[in-house]
């Protein structure tokens, strides 16, 4: 098993920077992927392999990963960014998701 720790919720003022963390043992050595999940919709990959932004994802989404913490950063958060965000890794033949962070844009 591999535990991933995310804050339950993060709030950010409209237009400001939101940071969502994902903690795990030596997570900096792993490929971390981030998903945006809105109610009733399929998850959307927003960052892969720690720092890569898939085609079609706005530049305000970025990622970093070092030591025991991976971070998803949303610069200039918009109302449409309100969602649950999940980190994900592959570890010893299994996939693990964090419990998810609810992002509120005020």
Q: 3-class DSSP state for residue 15?
A: coil
Instruction: Please report whether residue 31 would count as binding other proteins according to CB under 8 A.
Output: yes
Q: Does residue 42 touch other proteins according to CB under 8 A? A: yes
d(CA 14, CA 71): 19
Q: Is 54 in the site for other proteins (CB under 8 A)?
A: yes
Residue 38 CA, chain-centre distance (Å), reads 13
Binding track, positions 65-94, relative to other proteins; x by CB under 8 A? -------------------x-x-x-x--xx
Distance CA 66, CA 28 (A): 4
Binding positions for other proteins, rule: CB under 8 A? 1, 31, 33, 35, 37, 42-45, 48-49, 54, 84, 86, 88, 90, 93-100
């Amino acid at each position: 098993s591999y535990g991933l720790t995310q804050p339950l919720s993060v709030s950010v003022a409209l237009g400001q920077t939101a940071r969502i963390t994902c903690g795990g043992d030596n997570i900096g050595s792993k490929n971390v992927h981030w998903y945006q999940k809105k109610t009733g919709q399929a998850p959307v990959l927003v960052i892969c392999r720690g720092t890569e932004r898939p085609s079609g994802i706005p530049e305000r989404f970025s990622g970093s990963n070092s030591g025991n913490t991976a971070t998803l950063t949303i610069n200039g958060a918009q109302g449409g960014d309100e969602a649950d965000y999940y980190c994900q890794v592959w570890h010893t033949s299994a996939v693990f998701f964090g419990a998810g962070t609810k992002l509120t844009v005020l």
